[in-house]
Amino acid sequence: MIEAVNLTKSFKSGVAVDHINFYIEPGEIVGMLGPNGAGKSTTIAMLSTLIPPTEGDVLLHQKSVLKDQNLLRKVLGVVPQEIALYGDLTAKENLFFFGNLYKIPKKQLNERVEIVLEQIGLENETKKLVKHYSGGMKRRLNIGVALLHEPQYLIMDEPTVGIDPQSRNHILETVKKLNEQSNTAIIYTSHYMEEVEYLCNRIYIMDQGRIIASGSKDEIKAILSSENTVVVKVNNNSNAFMNELFNQPILTNIKADEDKINFTIAKGVNFLPNLLSLCERHNVLLKSFQMEEPTLEDVFLHLTGRALRN
Amino acid sequence: MFLALIQKQIKLLLRSPSELLILLAMPIGLILILSFALGSIMNGDLEITNVEIALVQHGNEEEEIEAFFQKANDTFPIADELRGQIAGMVPVKLLEEQIMENDELKEFVHITKVNEKDIERTRNNGEFSAIIEIPENFTYDFLTYQFLNGEKPSFSVYLNESKQINSTIVQTLINDFQHQYTLNKVLNENGLLLEGMIVPSPEITSTINTIQSKGEITSKIYYTFSMAVMFILFTAGTIASQAFLEKDSHIFDRMILARIRPITYLFSIIISTVIFAMVQMLILFTFSYFAFNITFNQLGLYLLLTFFLAIVVGGIAAVLSSLNYRNNSASASNVFSNAFVSIFALLGGSFFNISSIAPGMAKIGLLTPNGAALDGYLKLTQQASFSDLLPNLTNLSILMIILIVLAFLLFPKRGGIA
Ligand SMILES: Nc1ncnc2c1ncn2[C@@H]1O[C@H](COP(=O)(O)OP(=O)(O)OP(=O)(O)O)[C@@H](O)[C@H]1O
Ligand SMILES: [Mg+2]
């Protein structure tokens, strides 16, 4: 198990990570969600021993790794947010280079390179220089390099940023397979809700250097269990109608986008009759009324009052 | 693992055409251009009109020599035969002799003595390629400088810009002349001439003669080595820039995670630079060997000198890498390549033989890696021995130790990732 205890990083510009507590058990996939600048990458850099924390500790099996970083480095693979590859080397040359850094014996490395190339779906593109790869292919190789030494723990920092849906799906499948087949524990960082919802059992939500919510998917969604999100569509919307809607004390988080109105409302309250009479009075036509299950996006909105991405 | 780091570095260099252009194609081009622009002097395959040199001598040479003997008499007695020798060593005579003794030169170089009064007219009528003006007391100062450690005298040379090739020839002549002139001084300082003066012996004269009769440094030779020692410096800048890219792209993070120690990394930079720089030099020298028939007698000494130079360049690459990692930008290596290389090249005599213009600067030049090496290579073309090379090797050794220690001290802990 890797643990972060009160992990904190201050820069001259301010506190990037603020007393974070975090853990990952062998074999699980943990999601780390947060908007730009939340402190995800800084947390990862500390977790992977690349930068020393200002305060707090990182533990591997209850032992601090701040003094003896190699303890953790041996069992850890990191996929950085940036494409950390040599553009002037081919995929194979990159893999062999980093494999050699890990001192993987030659014969074994030959095998590992073949396996990894297959895992990331680049087995037919090995002779091209990496600078001539598409963005998606670079991302995949960026992941592949971190897999060579078969780490027990893999940290992935936004591995699907800026690539086409096909490559993205491929990466999501790769991650899932890796976890299922090799039992690799994975910390998956993203600001895409769908990815984290799809892959992870446990989720941490970060904002402004702090973890603002954590737990299983259901636990996190239960934060909103006392509320429902309602989406209403109308015709002939008017200011008078909206004003009256805003004055309804039982509605919260009201947002209107032309004829589409969102709000949250306590569970068990039946607002439909009130809405209908309201519409009638203002001569507004109600086209649809829909109660929605909360998403992680809603949770984030609820917790911070801001959307995750803009 | 270490081998992988080296292999990677060499591969990256070999795959960047723009770098290769600067590191290999450019020096070859410059060697060709500079050698042919100036090389025709040696070959005579360019039609050269006569080179007319006007010599204006102020003061009376005889009187000045006599004045010197008077002064010298206070310090040591001068035997008659030595008087004769010294009288033969006066600079104007030396210069004349140098031109007249050279078979290739005497055909088309003529020296005309011009009266002091006619100097203005001579300057204006443009028929001379150069005017050499020897000031009053020059001979006296020269002898005092040579034997009694006086002030170094100087004379003026006016080159006629419109006769470019001719004036280049004159410049070369003057450079050669001043080179010998300094050589005499050096011999004197080393006690060689002093000894000879008290007990004059023909052996001393012959020592001087041997040195003078050694092979000429043609512009082909000069520019082969001067360009080589200049462009080897760019290798340091290039490799340090590439090293910074490794930090910038987070490849260095991956190395740290793979438990590569920063010391190992820095060491790999030094070794790959040494290897590449050696190869670079070998390519340039091989080129000159085939293109110009420049011979490399005592190949071992050439290789030794090149090896020392390459290690110094490795040290520079390491220091620049450390600074780049420290500043989190490639500014150090950029400034080095864009400014420092030119300054070093100037001081080290890569553009022209600086000792002819500013001897003080030339001394500083010997402290630059390229200057120390260039001087060494030129000595080797004159059949110098290992011991002649020692001062150069010493300078390079001091430089490499300072640079390498500095690099390891400057490299930030954890590479300065933050
Ligand atoms: N080296 C540094 N010096 C100063 N401030 C830094 C440094 N690194 C990060 N920060 C600041 O710390 C905060 C967190 O940055 P971090 O990169 O960890 O965010 P992130 O969650 O990974 O964001 P993104 O989704 O954009 O990658 C930001 O405000 C950033 O400006
Ligand atoms: Mg980040």
Give B343-363 pLDDT, tens digit per residue.
Answer: 999 888 888 776 666 777 778
* ipTM computed for the complex: 0.82
pLDDT tens for residues B290-333? 988 888 988 999 999 999 999 999 999 999 999 999 999 999 99
The whole-angstrom distance between residue A215's C-alpha and the CA centroid of its chain comes to: 14
Sheet holding A260-266, edge to edge: A251-257, A260-266, A227-235, A285-292
Distance A31 CA to ligand 2 centre (A): 14
Pair B304, B207 in one domain = no
Pairwise CA distance, residues A97 & A94, whole Å: 5
Whether the CB of A85 is below 8 Å from some CB of chain B: the reply is yes
pTM > 0.90: yes or no:
no
The bound ligand whose nearest atom lies closest to the alpha carbon of A10 is 1
Q: What is the DSSP string of A273-305?
A: HHHHHHHHHHT-EEEEEEEE---HHHHHHHHHS
Q: What is the pLDDT of residue B67?
A: 83
Task: Give the angle A54-A56-A59 at the CA atoms, nearest 5°.
Answer: 125
Pairwise CA distance, residues A78 & A61, whole Å: 19
The bound ligand whose nearest atom lies closest to the alpha carbon of A208 is 1
> Which of B175, B190, B211 is at the close of a domain?
B211
At A185 the three-state DSSP class reads strand
Pair B303, B191 in one domain = no
Searching chain A, which residue's CA lies closest to the CA of residue B416?
A51
Pairwise CA distance, residues A147 & A96, whole Å: 12
For residue B22, the surrounding DSSP H or E stretch is none
Q: At what angle are helices B2-14 and A91-101 packed, to 10 degrees?
A: 150
- Residues A120/A173, Cβ–Cβ less than 8 Å: no
- Cβ distance of B253 and A93 shorter than 8 Å: no
Of B12, B260, B417, the CB nearest to A86: B12
Handedness of CA A89, A91, A95, A98 (dihedral sign): positive
Pair B154, B258 in one domain = no
Q: What is the pLDDT of residue B179?
A: 62
In a domain, B417, yes or no: no
For residue A69, the surrounding DSSP H or E stretch is helix A69-75
Domain containing residue B146: CATH number: 3.40.1710
Pair B39, B60 in one domain = no
Query: Which atom of ligand 1 lies nearest, measured to the CA of A191?
Result: 25
Tokens of A253: 């988080």
Q: What is the DSSP string of A258-278?
A: TTEEEEEEETT---HHHHHHH
Pairwise CA distance, residues B48 & B41, whole Å: 8
- Residues B261/B385, Cβ–Cβ less than 8 Å: no
For residue B409, the surrounding DSSP H or E stretch is helix B386-410
Q: Which residues does chain A have within 8 Å of residue B251's beta carbon, measured at their own beta carbons?
A: 84-86
Tokens of B11: 């591969």
Pair B228, B193 in one domain = no
Phi, psi of A3, rounded to the nearest 5 degrees: -130, 145
Phi-psi region of A161 (alpha: psi -120 to 50; beta: other; left: phi over 0): beta
Q: What is the DSSP string of B260-281?
A: --HHHHHHHHHHHHHHHHHHHH
Pair B265, B187 in one domain = no
Pairwise CA distance, residues A167 & A154, whole Å: 19
Pair B68, B160 in one domain = yes
Pair B132, B256 in one domain = no
Task: Give the angle A75-A78-A80 at the CA atoms, nearest 5°.
Answer: 170
In total, how many domains does chain B have? 2
Searching chain A, which residue's CA lies closest to the CA of residue B249?
A84
Count interface pairs A-B at CB distance under 8 A: 68
- Residues B317/B236, Cβ–Cβ less than 8 Å: yes
Pair B173, B243 in one domain = no
Tokens of B376: 């060494």
Pairwise CA distance, residues B241 & A77, whole Å: 27
Pair B236, B370 in one domain = yes
CATH 3.40.190.100 fits A226-293, yes or no: no
Domain ranges of chain A: 2-219, 226-293
- One digit per residue, the tens of pLDDT, for chain A of length 310 reads 999 999 999 999 999 999 999 999 999 999 999 888 999 999 999 999 999 999 999 999 999 999 899 999 999 999 999 999 999 999 999 999 999 999 999 999 999 999 999 999 999 988 899 999 999 999 999 999 999 999 999 999 999 988 888 889 999 999 999 999 999 999 999 988 889 989 998 999 999 999 998 988 888 877 766 777 888 898 888 888 888 888 888 888 888 888 889 888 887 788 888 888 888 998 888 898 888 777 777 777 777 776 665 5
Task: Give the angle B322-B326-B331 at the CA atoms, nearest 5°.
Answer: 85
Distance A42 CA to ligand 1 centre (A): 6
Tokens of A195: 């990815």
Instruction: Give residues (CB < 6 A) around ligand 1.
Output: A 11, 13, 16, 34, 36-42, 81, 191; B 418
Pairwise CA distance, residues A77 & A2, whole Å: 13
Contacts 24+ apart (CB under 8 A), B149-152: B152/B359
Q: Which residues are CB-contacts of A56 (< 8 A; sequence separation ≥ 6)? A: A4, A5, A6, A7, A8, A19, A20
Phi-psi region of A304 (alpha: psi -120 to 50; beta: other; left: phi over 0): alpha
Residue whose tokens read 């005499």: B184
Domain housing B133: 51-211
Pair B269, B185 in one domain = no
Distance B244 CA to ligand 1 centre (A): 21
Pair B22, B100 in one domain = no
CATH 3.30.1360.200 fits A2-219, yes or no: no
Radius of gyration of chain B (CA): 25
- Residues A160/A172, Cβ–Cβ less than 8 Å: yes
Q: What is the DSSP string of B307-345?
A: HHHHHHHHHHHHHHHHHHHHHTSSHHHHHIIIIIHHHHH
Q: Which residues does chain A have within 8 Å of residue B20's beta carbon, measured at their own beta carbons?
A: none
The bound ligand whose nearest atom lies closest to the alpha carbon of A209 is 1
| Ranges of chain B with pLDDT below 50 | 40-48, 191-214
**CA within 13 Å, CB half, A293:** 7
> Which of B211, B235, B260 is at the close of a domain?
B211
> Which of B211, B235, B265 is at the close of a domain?
B211
Pairwise CA distance, residues A288 & A292, whole Å: 13
